[in-house]
């Protein structure tokens, strides 16, 4: 039954009927008239399998394009220690995925200036407060949204500072959100462009 709920939740996420895992799981459980909820990882695994079946080889080509686009976007942001995170880092991107990049900078305006100098047009900016689920610390994040060639969307999250141990914990897989830096991503694209970064089950 848990697998059925996970599959239904994955369907809701894949077709954009829900955006958040928790809401997708609750919606799925309600539609199946059960109270059991799967873990986020179980839903993510169903979603990954579903995308593989529905998208086929095009999914692999898209992942390579997204990682290549991400590398191009990270190059002019080198001074801010950019890290590719999200589903494009994980290797689980679907047809609905965008590029997520995290940078470290005291002033978000400096990041915006670097993007403008490289010819990137900012679509919109959002400021958010977020509490780390483990440390309980509340941080301010500036989100910068871009539209790249081919209609690909990218989101750059500006943190004031990220030191060792401040990466945050993934709400899906439970590991640290380390991501990939410029050199690391370059090597992945050359040597193993379809590599997945998913921790083993404990």
Has residue 79 been placed in a domain?
A: yes
Note the pTM of the prediction, 2 decimals: 0.90
Has residue 31 been placed in a domain?
A: yes
Judge if 97 and 8 occupy the same domain.
Answer: no
Residue recorded with tokens 């050199």: 183
Judge if 112 and 26 occupy the same domain.
Answer: no
Q: How confident is the model at residue 79 (pLDDT cuts 50, 70, 90)?
A: very high
The count of C-alpha atoms lying within 13 angstroms of the C-alpha of 125, restricted to the half-sphere facing its C-beta, is: 10
Domains identified in the chain, total number: 2
pLDDT single digits (tens) 115-154: 999 999 999 999 888 776 556 677 778 999 999 988 899 9
pLDDT higher than threshold 80 for residue 174: yes
- CA torsion through residues 44, 46, 49, 51, sign: negative
pLDDT single digits (tens) 176-194: 999 999 999 999 999 999 9
Helix (H), strand (E) at residue 140: strand 138-147
Judge if 15 and 93 occupy the same domain.
Answer: no
Contact 155, 145 (CB under 8 A): yes
Has residue 180 been placed in a domain?
A: yes
Has residue 153 been placed in a domain?
A: yes
Residue recorded with tokens 């990049």: 101
Supply the mean pLDDT for the chain: 92
Helix (H), strand (E) at residue 85: strand 83-85
Judge if 16 and 94 occupy the same domain.
Answer: no
Nearest to 72 by CA among 99, 110, 32, 34: 99
Judge if 65 and 48 occupy the same domain.
Answer: no
Judge if 91 and 67 occupy the same domain.
Answer: yes
- Structural domain containing residue 49: 2-55
Judge if 34 and 126 occupy the same domain.
Answer: no
Has residue 69 been placed in a domain?
A: yes
């Amino acid at each position: 039954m848990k697998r059925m709920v996970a599959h239904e939740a994955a369907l809701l996420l894949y077709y954009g009927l829900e955006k958040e895992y928790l809401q997708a799981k609750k919606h799925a459980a309600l539609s199946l008239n059960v109270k059991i909820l799967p873990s986020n990882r179980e839903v993510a695994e169903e979603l990954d399998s579903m995308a593989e079946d529905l998208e086929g080889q095009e999914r692999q080509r898209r992942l390579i394009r997204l990682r290549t686009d991400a590398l191009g976007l990270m190059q002019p942001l080198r001074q801010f220690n950019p890290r590719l995170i999200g589903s494009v880092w994980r290797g689980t991107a679907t047809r609905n995925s965008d590029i997520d990049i995290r940078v470290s900078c005291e002033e978000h305006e400096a990041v915006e200036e670097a993007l403008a100098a490289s010819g990137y047009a900012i679509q919109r900016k959002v400021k958010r407060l977020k509490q780390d689920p483990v440390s309980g610390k509340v941080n301010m994040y500036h989100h910068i949204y871009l539209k790249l060639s081919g209609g690909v969307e990218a989101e750059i999250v500006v943190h004031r500072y990220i030191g060792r141990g401040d990466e945050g914990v993934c709400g899906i897989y439970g590991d640290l959100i380390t991501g990939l830096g410029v050199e690391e991503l370059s090597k992945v694209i050359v040597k193993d462009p379809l590599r997945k970064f998913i921790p083993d089950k404990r």
